[in-house]
Amino acid sequence: MESEKKLIEEKTAQLFLSLYNPAYGTHFEIGDLGETPDVTCIDSETGSFLYLEISLLENLPGDIAYQLGRGKRPHSPTTKTTVIDFLNDVVPLWRNRLEKKLLASYDE
């Protein structure tokens, strides 16, 4: 049985490819779901590869659990309410998450 994480990554990749292929005239399809990268895509016409790393970004810690109905709505450490301060709450979280992804090794 596939994990929920893998199902989310697969659906995200399918949605991405449905927009990417028409925009760039490519024919990428999902070839493999893995860990590093999360998704390996193959162009059915050229044989080219496209590697996707799927990152779930949340506006506040606990936001994804809340959106999935598994927790309380998080409060902003800046506003002390459920109102989010994008610059002070969200940007640092996203920056930290993306910096970690950029430093990851994707050697095969």
51-72 per-position pLDDT tens digit: 999 888 888 888 888 888 899 9
Is residue 106 pLDDT above 80, yes or no? Answer: no
User: Which of 54, 98, 93 shows the shortest CA–CA distance to 84?
Assistant: 93
Q: What is the pLDDT of residue 1?
A: 47
Q: How many CB atoms lie within 10 A of CB 99?
A: 9
Structure pTM?
0.69
Is residue 108 pLDDT above 60, yes or no? Answer: no
Q: What is the pLDDT of residue 97?
A: 85
Is residue 39 pLDDT above 80, yes or no? Answer: yes
Cβ burial, residue 91 (10 Å; 0-12/13-18/19+): exposed
Is residue 29 pLDDT above 90, yes or no? Answer: yes
CB 10 within 8 A of CB 33: yes
> In what helix (H) or strand (E) does residue 61 lie, and over which residues does it extend?
none
